[in-house]
Amino acid sequence: MNTFFKRIQSKTRLINPLKAFSLDEIPFEIRFDPLTGETGRVFDLPFKPPDMPDIEETIQRSREVFCPFCPEALEKSTPLFPKEIIPEGRIKVGQATLIPNLLPLDAYAGVSVLSEEHYISIEDLTPEKMGDAFSAALLFIQRVVDFDPQVQFFSINWNYMPPSGSSLVHPHLQVNCGYVPTNHHRIQIEGCKRYLKENGNSFWHNFIHAEKECKERYIAEIGSTFWVLSFVPQSFLPDVWCIFPDYYSLIQLSIAEITSFLQGLSRVLRYFGQENIHAFNMSIFSVKEDDNFRINARICPRLLIRAIGNSDRAYLYTLHKEPYTVKPPESLCLKLKEIFNK
Ligand SMILES: [Zn+2]
């Protein structure tokens, strides 16, 4: 059972000025990702995001510069898809508009603008406010598959607010479809194959069962979605992992399954807001055809730039590709469960 949760417990020793220069031991863990085998480090440090993050200034500054997604600019300033892919040029669903991404992230790359609202606070990202943009993303993927059946890999992604890497405050998703998976997507697929070869059955149901049995990181199930804190967090503060246990492709999903996901996502974001986290990255990974894979999403909190101007990513993640987190994911589980059960 616990083969999923492999970890090495270690410690570092120092003479600590914060403890009157006495000998001190600081414990930490090196954990192995249950699916990919990649390592990450888990610390338990007294870190808390600052109470009064200065996001008002960022929002104000963003209103003073040109925003291509605001209603007066969108039609005039954003590109259209070629007619053979999207005859109407842009996909409109309710409040949302999906346009081509000028950044060529993949063979088919779209940007799904949530609505006319330039800024939506993290706590206000309700399923209703996000639903149209996700519906437009699903419609785009379906249109791409109809046009080009060779496409195999899809992802729906989100950089929310500039500390996450977004160049714009105006909320928007990025939808990528192509023939070659990204590194993380590929090692997930390889992990699924390896697990099947070694165990004779699929990773996902066994993993979900193990997380539910262990009760340390399991948050909830909503409709067709399973929610857990990642055993090996990918960000400075722990991230949340969502799995669709019964689906491998976003083209299999209807609005009902996406609504279950958005109900969970909005709860995670409410939790982030309560903890003074006002930026995040999110990716939903999906294949077109591979019954051994499962759609899954990671939602990573990102810290606002601190007074000195540093970001929350440094050499360890950039060059060693080794994530670390300053709080054990298990320490957040109860709070998230409360928000999910409300
Ligand atoms: Zn705007």
* Count of H-run helices and E-run strands, the chain: 8, 14
Centroid of ligand 1 to alpha carbon of 72 (angstroms): 9
Centroid of ligand 1 to alpha carbon of 135 (angstroms): 20
By CB neighbour count within 10 A (0-12 exposed, 13-18 middle, 19+ buried), where does 158 fall? buried
pLDDT score recorded for residue 1: 46
Centroid of ligand 1 to alpha carbon of 310 (angstroms): 26
Centroid of ligand 1 to alpha carbon of 113 (angstroms): 9
Centroid of ligand 1 to alpha carbon of 174 (angstroms): 16
Centroid of ligand 1 to alpha carbon of 269 (angstroms): 21
The answer to whether 333 and 218 are in contact (CB under 8 A) is yes
Centroid of ligand 1 to alpha carbon of 117 (angstroms): 7
Centroid of ligand 1 to alpha carbon of 25 (angstroms): 49
| Sheet with 22-32, edge to edge strand ranges | 7-16, 22-32, 39-42, 324-325
Centroid of ligand 1 to alpha carbon of 79 (angstroms): 16
Q: Kindly give the parts of the chain with pLDDT less than 70.
A: 1-2, 52-53
The answer to whether 80 and 91 are in contact (CB under 8 A) is no
Centroid of ligand 1 to alpha carbon of 56 (angstroms): 15
**Stated pTM of the model:** 0.96
Residues with Cβ within 8 Å of 65's Cβ and at least 6 positions away in sequence, in order, are: none
Centroid of ligand 1 to alpha carbon of 69 (angstroms): 5
pLDDT score recorded for residue 50: 79
The span from the CA of 139 to the CA of 158, in Å, is: 17
Considering Cα of 242, then 151, then 146, then 157, what sign does the dihedral take?
positive
Centroid of ligand 1 to alpha carbon of 67 (angstroms): 5
pLDDT score recorded for residue 307: 73
pLDDT score recorded for residue 53: 64
By CB neighbour count within 10 A (0-12 exposed, 13-18 middle, 19+ buried), where does 118 fall? middle
> Nearest 10 degrees: CA dihedral of 203, 204, 207, 213?
-140
Centroid of ligand 1 to alpha carbon of 121 (angstroms): 13
Centroid of ligand 1 to alpha carbon of 118 (angstroms): 4
b/e per residue 31-53 (b: at least 16 CB within 10 A): bbbbbbebbbbbeeeeeebeeeb
H or E stretch covering 183: helix 183-199
Centroid of ligand 1 to alpha carbon of 268 (angstroms): 24
Centroid of ligand 1 to alpha carbon of 68 (angstroms): 6
Q: What are the tens digits of pLDDT across the range 98-129? A: 999 999 999 999 999 999 999 999 999 999 99
pLDDT score recorded for residue 52: 61
pLDDT score recorded for residue 202: 95
